[in-house]
Structures are given as structure tokens and as C-alpha cells.
Amino acid sequence: MHFDLTDDQRLTREMVRAFAEKEVKPRAAEIDRTDEFPRDLYRRLGELGLLGMTLPPEHGGAGADTMTWAIVQEELARASAAVADSQLLAKLMTDMIWRNGSEAQRRTHLPTLARGEKICVIAQTEPGAGSDVAGIQTTARPTGDGWVLNGTKRFITAAMVCDLAVVVATTDRAKGGDGIALFLVESGTPGFSRGSKEDIMGVHGLATGEMVFEDCRIPAASLLASPGEGFKRAMVSLDTGRIGMGAECVGLAQAAMEEAIAYARQRSAFGQTLAGFQAIQFMIADMSTQIEAARLLVRRAAWLKDQGRSVAREAAEAKLFASEMAARVTTDALQIHGAYGYSKEFTIERLYRDVRVYQIWEGASQIQRTVIARRLLR
């Protein structure tokens, strides 16, 4: 057992860190302020081969492993949570189409998604159902030659800018999870429209919003996972997503700690810098220890996934610990900044807001605990 990265992983980390420092970090505050989806940066991610990076080369990817992807996620999040999360979305959606799609669906969608020319979203959450995926109300009714979708989705990342959506819908509400199927719906399809953009606390720049399906007719070839399979496929994608979310939290916490160290070194009080006070030193020491613990959990889950092992518990543990860790670290890092931490003038204010959602999306902390406990107690 060793903890070194491979040469490829190290080189990827260096490349992504250099890109993030030069092209992402200087834009992060502006993305937060304007709340505009940075389409140009998204295309740059595609040019760098980062959007479909885990796809096989014949589908426009680099065949990278989950560990390398987790490293990329951490480095991007260190610069901007929104940019990191747009990359996570691309990875999950290309993965979902590659794993579940027909050859025609793969050929049609994967190259343009991997290049960043198109954006695909996952439309699962509804006004009345988030954690309880089996309780969704959006219906898919079979017609002779396809399906008709009806329902509303909320809090969908990139809803306002997407070209394609994987829509989670029920074909039979009485069957719960067994009635759920996945469908590919292209923007411009009659009956599909976007509702309001969500006015949210953090992760600005992700164009999060509502999607509405009103008698939206789609062909039979739009089916991505059939009833009975859809729920399982969505859950597998969540496991992978949780590893990425954990990695993003490590990157965000790392950024918060670096901001706190820089501030503590230059700010003086009572005749010395803040860095000279043991109370501040201990906060920094605790941050570093917690970040390293989360990083190990994330990398363990990524490594297990790369070995083809089941990671439901390990991914949930990584996401749970990393998201709660990142909230503690950003809180302490803001504290070290005093009043300036509460001002939009300093980066820590954005990190503090951005980090909060990681305890909610991709399964709230309570759901992660349920997943973990269920596997230990069954």
C-alpha cells in the first residue's frame, strides 16, 4: 500500500492546477457576482479534455480513472466551486450515456458533450420530491411510437443553459422505484420549457433552474434506462457523484485554509501577527488534519471504484465527512479573517456560502448517514 500518485496523475494535477490558477481563479469572484454560466471556461474544459475525461478514447475521452478525476475535481474546486461542479456534471452525464445508452445515443451525444459544445443535465429533483427519488411525480406515458412526459423539475444545475437532459420520470407511480425510467430530451423539443432561475445562496454561475414538461412527446429511441432499471442507474451515478462532491469539498477547504494562512500571516493584533497566536495556529492545524482525512476518504472511494468494487458506503462516507469538514474549515477560516471575512471583499465569504450546498445536494447528510447505516446494519 502506498499513497503516491502515479506519474500520469501527478502530471494531470499539475496541468489542471496551472490552468485553474491562470484561467479559473481570476474569474471566480466575477462568476459569483454576475451569476452567469461561464460558457467560455466550460469550452476550455472541453478543449483540455476534462469534460469526458473518463470516457474511452473512441467516444472522445481519455480513459482516465476515477482517482485522476477526483484529483481534477479537487484542483478545480480550489479555484471555483461552480467551474468544478460544471465538470462534475459533464463527467456524470457522459458516464451515464456511455454506460446506459444505445450505440446511436452514444455516437450522437458523447463527442459534442466531451468537447463542451453541448451541456447535458440530470433532471431528477421536483418541487415535492428530492431525497425521496422514488416519490417523483413526473410521468412518462407510453404512446404507440414513444413517450409523453408531464411534470416539473426544480433545482436543476445548468437547467437554464442545457442542450440535453436526462429526465427521471415514473411510468407507474404505484411501483415506486421500479416504475422509474430515464429519458434523453433535447432542448427545443415541443412541450419542454425552462421555468425560473433559482435565486440561491452560493455556487452562482451554474444556471440552476426549473424545467417544465407539458405533453412533451419524445420518440421511443429517447429511452435511456427502462422502467425497473432507471432507479438503479440513477443510484449508481449518485455513488460516483458523491466521490466528486467529496473531492470538491477537499478543494474548497484547501482554498479556505490557504486564505486563512495568508491572512493570519499579514494581519497584526496586540503587537504580533495573528499567526503568532496559539489559538489561530491550532485552528490551522485542525483544518489541515481534517482536510487530509477527507482527502484520504475520497481517494479510497475513488480507488475502490477503479478496482470495480461496490462503493455505495465508501462514497457516502467520503461525501458526508468531506462536506461537513469543509463547512467547519470555512467557518474557522472566516473567523480568522474577523470582520473582513464577513465582507465580500475577501474570497472566504464566497467559499463559506459555496460550501453549504455540499451537505444538501447529491444526497443530504442525513441520507448519506442512512446509506452508511443501512449497509452496516443489514
Q: List contacts with ligand FAD (CB under 6 A).
A: 121-125, 130-132, 155-157, 200, 203, 208, 357, 360-361, 363-364, 366-367, 370
User: Taking the complex as a whole, how short is the minimal distance between the CB of residue 297 and ligand FAD, in angstroms?
Assistant: 20
Q: Does the annotation count 117 as an active-site position?
A: no
Q: In whole angstroms, what is the distance from residue 233 CA to residue 133 CA?
A: 12
* DSSP assignment of 161-192: T-SEEEEEEES-GGGGGGGEEEEEEETT-TTE
Give the three cell numbers for residue 345.
Answer: 471583499
Nearest distance in Å: CB 351, ligand FAD: 15
What span, in angstroms and rounded, lies between the C-alpha atoms of 103 and 85?
27
Residue 153 CB, nearest approach to ligand FAD (Å): 7
Adjacent-strand bridge partners of 164? 120, 186
8 vs 132, beta carbon nearer ligand FAD? 132
CB of 66 to ligand FAD, least distance (A): 20
Instruction: Count the Cβ atoms, other than its own, within 10 Å of residue 342.
Output: 14
Comparing CB distances to ligand FAD, the nearer of 310 and 366 is: 366
**Residue 90: closest CA among 102, 104, 72:** 72
Quickly list DSSP for 221-259. Answer: GGEEE-TTTHHHHHHHHHHHHHHHHHHHHHHHHHHHHHH
Which residue minimizes CB distance to ligand FAD? 130
Coil, helix or strand at residue 87: helix
Catalytic residues: 362
